[in-house]
Structure 1
Amino acid sequence: MWILAVVAFVVALAAASLAVVALRRQTAYRAPGTDALPEDVTGLRQEVAALRLEAGDALRHLAVVRYDAFGDMGGHLSWSLALLDDSGNGVVLTSIHGRSDARTYAKSISSWTCEQQLSPEEEEAVAHARP
């Protein structure tokens, strides 16, 4: 019985030795171009930072508010759309639909505010677009 235990111990010791040798060979081998990896990672990080900076100016915050501009009209055909960047700069577009015509307005937004008077629906669109 103890002979079986000794044989099992010798086999386990041999397997552990082979595993250590294989691990040493694997870490000793370096694929071509792996020395440049840190420079590549640094370059990628710089590129991601530049893209994030560029994306800050993109009109990526938007909200639409649909409503009835006139009491006798239904279907929420009028709307206000806020298109803003991360700093709150952009535009609010509004389309007022009546029975016989439709009018479209554009108002410039700077730092989440407008020099012109905003309608309640336009203010709501800007508020919903704000992160």
Structure 2
Amino acid sequence: MAVVLALLALAVAVASLVVGIRNARAASGAGSEDLPADAAGLRREVAALRAEVVGALRHLAVVRYDAFDEMGGRLSWSLALLDDAGDGVVLTSIRGRNEARTYAKSVAGWSGEQELSPEEAEAVAHARLARS
């Protein structure tokens, strides 16, 4: 009896395998003519995404430093946020003993539109090196 059940199970497994192979062949044959259209659509989407990402602020760098001799811990910082063309902004926070001041300066073509401090210029230079 056990042998009969084992043979029956084997027959069902083989039949399932044959049906699965036939379905896979039918599915791959039916969709093959759609592949070029799908690939072209994907290429258009990738091109559109690449065009959008050019203007994204992808090049980032932070420089931390001590702005004043009496302050330790490198609590002051400059942060460059730039796109692929080197356009964006440098944000700077200078921490003193009793206050912190924050500044924003525009950057175009990897150069500051206003004069950049050495730390701000360093942040822009690091961001430029981080280009992908």
TM-score over 0.5 for the pair: yes
Q: Determine which of 70, 93, 96 is the counterpart of 1:95.
A: 93
Task: Summarize the alignment of residues 22-101 of structure 1 with structure 2, pairs less than 5 Å apart.
Answer: 30-101=28-99
Q: CA deviation at 1:31?
A: 2.7
* Offset of residue 113 of structure 1: 1.0
Q: Over aligned residue pairs, what C-alpha RMSD do you find?
A: 1.5
1:36 CA drift (Å): 1.2
The unaligned stretches of length 5 or more in structure 1 are 1-24
1:128 alignment partner AA = H
Aligned pairs, number: 105
Distance in 1 (alpha carbons) for counterparts of 2:78 and 2:29: 58
2:71 partner SS:
coil
SS at match of 2:29: coil
Give the letter aligned to residue 115 of structure 2: Q
Could you tell me the TM-score, scaled by structure 2's length? 0.76
Residue aligning to 1:114? 112
2:29 maps to amino acid: A
* Equivalent residue letter for 1:104: T
Instruction: Give, in whole Å, the separation in 2 of the partners of 1:45 and 1:115.
Output: 37
